[in-house]
Structures are given as structure tokens and as C-alpha cells.
Amino acid sequence: MAEHRTMQRGALLDAARSLLSEGGTEALTFPALAERTGLARSSVYEYFRSRAAVVEELCAVDFPVWAAEVEFAMAGADTPEDKVAAYVRKQLELVGDRRHRAVVAISAGELDDGAREKIRAAHGGLVAMVVDALAQLGMTEPRLGAMLLQGVVDAAVRRIELGAAEDPDRIAEAAVALALHGVTGPRP
């Protein structure tokens, strides 16, 4: 019985990932989850009390995987510049991975405070990864810089998600250039 419940919970989370990827948080409804999984709507409520609870669980399950992939990419880089570039590039690469698209789609705007706090904490852990590299590059406020850098990444993610005219690789390289060289570009 417990194994069956675990399978159903996993199916619900997978359906939630798909719905979020396809239509953002508005698409994540209990009727849609029930339809995708073949469960009765009342059964969905047995697993999750609200949409926010679904999002909280997805954050708990998926965000550490996203963060671990970013951390692994950064660990393979030798210089602080390469670490910053890996931080940016890996996140933008993950946008195309269906499992990670739900992380991108989660909007804190219409969720309860508990869910918003979990999302903020998850993002805080991600941002903390790049603080040391920014400090090594001489940034006087590396924590603030890391938060602003994540803003650049988030803007690039949205651009890719919108299906912008630019190729996703061009968007990634522009984001890396902005992160490493600001608006002046690389010096000759």
C-alpha cells in the first residue's frame, strides 16, 4: 500500500511538472492533476492540501537536483571567472530539461507565504554558491552581487522561455559576458 501511495505521489509530481512547464502556475490545478493522473480529484487532495503544497514539494524534490548540477559544473571550473560562467551557463542549459522546467515555471506571486519562503530559501542556497567566486574577483559586496547576477540569469531564462528570436546559446553567452564584463564588455 505504501509503495502504491509513493507511486501515485510521484505521478502527481510528474504531472505537476508537466503542467507547470506547459502553462506556468495557472495551469497547475487539482482538476488538471486529476485528469493527467487518472485519479479522482478527491484523491489528489489526499496527497496535497493545496497548489502551494504541490509547489513546496516540487521545490523540495527538484531544486536540490538543479542546485547540485550547477554546483557540479562550477566545481569543474578552475578560475573564479570560469566558475561564474559555469554558474550562468549551467542554469540556462537546465532550462531545456523538462524535469527542471517546473523549477523555472514556479512563480511565487500567487502562492502562500510558506511556499514563497521555501522558494526564497532554495534560491538563496543557489545564489550562495557563486558568492566566493565573486569575492575572489574583487567584488566588494559579493552577496549583493550574487543576487544581482541571479537576476541576470533569471532574465535570460525568461528570454529563452519566451522563445526569443535569439538562439538560447547566444542568450547564454550574452548573459555570461554581462556577468563577467558588465556593460563595457571585455577589455582589449
pTM of the model: 0.78
Can you tell me the mean pLDDT for 42-63?
85
CA 60, chain centre distance (Å): 12
pLDDT at 24 over 90: no
- One DSSP character per residue, 109-137 reads GGS-HHHHHHHHHHHHHHHHHHHHHHHHT
- At residue 101, the pLDDT reads 64
User: Tens digits of per-residue pLDDT, 108-144?
Assistant: 555 667 767 777 777 778 889 999 999 999 999 999 9
